[in-house]
Amino acid sequence: MKLEERIAAGQLIESGDELTDEYRELLCGIIQFTANSEFMGAFAESEWIPRAPSYQRKLALIAKNQDEIGHAQMQYQLAEDLGRDREQMLTSLLAGENGFGNAFHYPADEWIDIGLLAWMLDGAAMQLQHSLMKTSYGPYARIMKRVCREEEFHIRHGEHIVREYATGSREKQERLQAGVDRWWSRAVMFFGLSDSRSEKSERMDELGIKPKTNDELRQQYFDTYVPKLRNYGIDIPDENLYYDEETEQWEYTPPDWEEFNRIVTEGGPETQARLDRRRTAFEETAWVRDALEAYDGTTANRFANNITA
């Protein structure tokens, strides 16, 4: 049976050898993008580890950060198994040639931003990750099962911070509202371009690589998050947002796709600083790689890009 027939019959593809060039290219593209996003998301949040407001919050944030780096590594490993070179993937990330999630190009200036990144943005990522548990490439689907289990805790950690602010002093409530005002449109855009604007969307869908489209995932997100935000007394900063009973779809102000394209291709306010931190971390850990090289040359490359965060 041909690859596409097997996918249509609901079979999981288990080996990279069975893939067509087109499938491999599309699959590696999404894996590399999600790996980069996990990686750079961790860099965004780790800035707050020294400044976490309590010991418990610090522990939770450290644990989340370790998870995110782990999610990145599992996905880089998968792309490597499919023929991409890890060194090359990380080099092109540093050179700004290979994108990552729009949200991680922006600063997290306040502690509530960390809560909102975990609650609203991991919550957005989770829509995609959850759908990828049904992707047609078996090894990717299984990685996503583990990722989703850990993401559930990240989202709860974020919601715990949000609840503290929502039920706290007037000042905290105002900071929460201002935070949502900053992050809402970024979360809406996080799913990527509208299906009508995305060239690859249809093919990814036909090949079962991405079982749900960007717009389907965005609608799911509204289903979950609009009631949750309102329940916390938060105003959603979009006066055109409403649920159309007839079409059973959320209507909303179209995001600024020009800004989105600019951010993911040229970078945003924090992109360079975060990539520089990654570069410095890599350089500062050169001695570990040198020690491994001296100990056993064959293992050095294996570890080279794992010791970075």
Q: Kindly state the smallest distance separating residue 102's Cβ from Fe ion, in Å.
A: 16
Residue number with CB closer to Fe ion (122 or 270):
122
Residue number with CB closer to Fe ion (38 or 113):
38
Residue number with CB closer to Fe ion (7 or 74):
74
Q: Kindly state the smallest distance separating residue 44's Cβ from Fe ion, in Å.
A: 11
What are the two backbone dihedrals, phi and then psi, of residue 210, each rounded to the nearest 5 degrees? -120, 100
Residues that bind Fe ion (CB under 5 A): 38, 68, 71, 122, 151, 154
Alpha carbon distance 64, 89 (integer Å): 23
Residue number with CB closer to Fe ion (23 or 111):
111
Q: Kindly state the smallest distance separating residue 147's Cβ from Fe ion, in Å.
A: 6
Alpha carbon distance 211, 130 (integer Å): 10
Q: Kindly state the smallest distance separating residue 68's Cβ from Fe ion, in Å.
A: 5
- Beta-bridged to residue 183, according to DSSP, are none
Residue number with CB closer to Fe ion (122 or 159):
122
Q: Kindly state the smallest distance separating residue 27's Cβ from Fe ion, in Å.
A: 19
